Amino acid sequence: MIVPIILSGGSGSRLWPISRSLFPKQFINLVNDETSLFQDTIRRLPKNLESPVVICNEEHRFIVAEQLRQIKSNNKGIILEPIGKNTAPAIALAALHLLKDGSDPTLLVLSADHSISDNKKFHNSIKTGQKLAEKNKLASFGIIPTKAETGYGYIQVDNSTSKEYYNIVSFTEKPSKEIAENYLKSGSYYWNSGIFMFKASVFLEELKQHEPQIYSSCVKSFNKINRDLDFIRINKEEFFKCPSKSVDYAIMEKTDDAMVVPFNSNWNDVGSWESLWEEKTKDENNNVSKGDVILNKVNNSYIHSTSRLVTVNEISDLVIIDTEDALLVSSKKNSQNIKKIVEKLQNENRKESENHRKVYRPWGYFDSIDFGEGFQVKRISVNPGAKLSLQKHSKRAEHWVIVKGVASITCGEKKFKLNESQSTFIPKGEVHRLENCENTALEIIEIQTGSYLGEDDIIRLEDDYKRN
């Protein structure tokens, strides 16, 4: 039995401003127009595998649940991390979760933000990894390098014998250009894909031996889990004590039983705008453009427009990303360093590091289309059958205008329905709720007025999604 473990906790800061911490790259349709990287990761799996276990940030739980629903994927659990502690603790939590019913499955560990174009070769590599796992080995998938890439880790192998899998000699983190070129020439180095296969019990035994503190923290965290809707909440206090370490550092570099399965396919970790440019189809001038874009004498560039016309004239090798609330211009070759911009935004407590103007909620989304002194205007979309929390605000009043659909409204003791073009007023301090009882989306325009309009001025009295 093979159970996929989907690691979905990354922030994707190098793909800002499309990727934000509360809606990061793995949940965005970057490579394919219809599905996200997370959904692609699940859809490319062989059909004979078990349903996946997903590990994600607590803030992303409803995004994960909704994207699983969209592709009609079952799951064996969605485990919520209160804080990111890297890959070794995340895998340990999944292994503990799956071992609790007495089985000992083989884990196929995958990052949710990779692109793989050749599913047949990927499936063949899984078969090889399964053979190794059945022998109590720990398999790492090594990508046959195609260039002297400095943004990836490398695995050196002893390729003097077998061609199906190799013994590991050493690991190297992100080498210099010169060293990477030597690795490429040698033929004995592979890119470290971050894809692994091993039995759940074998992984935990190795973790217990090499990183006993991680093992202990994860066991204590999992022994005090709480079920919340479809989610598994581990004990926050215990998990905060857990060291942060990747599976490579924690186990793969220390164990005597690690092997590399060569994987010859178009693999991409979609870690920067340059890597996404490499992945996408280009025009006759080697450009990738998305949205309303007009180019004149532009070469080797990536241009993305979200909501308005973007025109570019006589440049080369640039990344230009325009969203509703931020514009990025960068050299393509240095797009890995965009994370430093994000760090500056975070240090200045800028909201642009966390959210887009359009913010997704478990019931739908809101888009802050205008704001000024004492007012804010939002376009709110409520999914069919969904409802917002029963709530009140201490510092603002709200005017609602129905644009599309039928709204079921609670305002104090009154309950009533409004159709398109009708409106109502929610006084400051009044208990209220917005609900969509229909089978089509509900859209309203909300005009907030008051002395303070922050999202933290919400007192929830009832909530279907158990948010505090």
pLDDT per residue as tens digits for the range 13-33: 999 999 999 999 999 999 999
d(CA 8, CA 47): 21
Does 183 or 79 have the greater pLDDT score?
Answer: 79
Residues 127 and 142 in one domain: yes
pLDDT of residue 10: 85
Domain that holds residue 370: 358-462
Task: Enter the tokens of residue 135.
Answer: 């022998």
- In this structure, the strands spanning 318-322 and 302-305 are parallel
Residues 302 and 285 in one domain: yes
Task: Enter the tokens of residue 399.
Answer: 């005017």
Residues 291 and 375 in one domain: no
On average, the pLDDT of the chain sits at 94
pLDDT of residue 81: 95
Task: Enter the tokens of residue 341.
Answer: 């911009």
Task: Enter the tokens of residue 345.
Answer: 């935004």
Residues 10 and 69 in one domain: yes
**Neighbour tally for 423: CB within 10 Å:** 13
Q: Which of 268, 287, 303 is the last residue of a domain?
A: 268
Which residues 6+ apart lie within 8 Å of 327 measured at CB?
Answer: 17, 320, 321
Q: Give the mean pLDDT of 265-292.
A: 94
Instruction: Examine residue 353 and state whether it is found in any structural domain, yes or no.
Output: no
| pLDDT > 80? residue 370 | yes
Instruction: Examine residue 347 and state whether it is found in any structural domain, yes or no.
Output: no
Which residues 6+ apart lie within 8 Å of 108 measured at CB?
Answer: 2, 3, 4, 5, 45, 49, 126, 129, 195, 196, 197
pLDDT of residue 467: 80
Residues 243 and 316 in one domain: no
Residues 232 and 314 in one domain: no
DSSP-derived letter for residue 23 is B
Instruction: Examine residue 350 and state whether it is found in any structural domain, yes or no.
Output: no
pLDDT of residue 468: 67
Check: CB of residue 371 under 8 Å from CB of residue 351. Answer: no
Q: H or E segment at 193?
A: strand 189-199
Instruction: Examine residue 468 and state whether it is found in any structural domain, yes or no.
Output: no
* 3-state secondary structure (DSSP) of residue 367: strand
Name 23's bridge partners. Answer: 20
Q: Which of 288, 312, 341 is the last residue of a domain?
A: 341
Q: Report the CATH number that the domain containing residue 83 is assigned in CATH.
A: 3.90.550.10
Residues 76 and 119 in one domain: yes
Instruction: Examine residue 467 and state whether it is found in any structural domain, yes or no.
Output: no
Instruction: Examine residue 346 and state whether it is found in any structural domain, yes or no.
Output: no
pLDDT of residue 172: 87
Check: CB of residue 355 under 8 Å from CB of residue 18. Answer: no
Q: For the packed helices 212-222 and 200-210, what is the interaxial angle rounded to 10 degrees?
A: 130
Distances (CA, A) of 386 to 230, 365, 417, 434: 17, 11, 15, 9
Residues 179 and 281 in one domain: no
| CA dihedral sign of residues 148, 154, 160, 164 | negative
Residues 185 and 206 in one domain: yes
Dump strand ranges (E) for 264-373: 267-268, 288-290, 293-296, 302-305, 310-313, 318-322, 327-331, 358-361, 364-372
Residues 321 and 261 in one domain: no
Least confident piece of the model among 146-150, 288-292, 361-365? 146-150
In 3D space, the residue among 139, 106, 90, 79 whose CA is nearest the CA of residue 4 turns out to be 106
12 in the Ramachandran plot: left (φ > 0), alpha (ψ -120 to 50) or beta? left
| CA dihedral sign of residues 380, 362, 52, 208 | positive
Domain count, the chain: 3
Instruction: Examine residue 236 and state whether it is found in any structural domain, yes or no.
Output: yes
Instruction: Examine residue 182 and state whether it is found in any structural domain, yes or no.
Output: yes
* Percentage above 70 pLDDT, the chain: 100
Residues 329 and 379 in one domain: no
Q: CA geometry: angle at 71 spanning 66 and 72, to 5°? A: 90
pLDDT of residue 207: 97
d(CA 431, CA 428): 9
Check: CB of residue 437 under 8 Å from CB of residue 385. Answer: yes
Half-sphere exposure of 351 (CA within 13 A, CB side): 9
Residues 227 and 283 in one domain: no
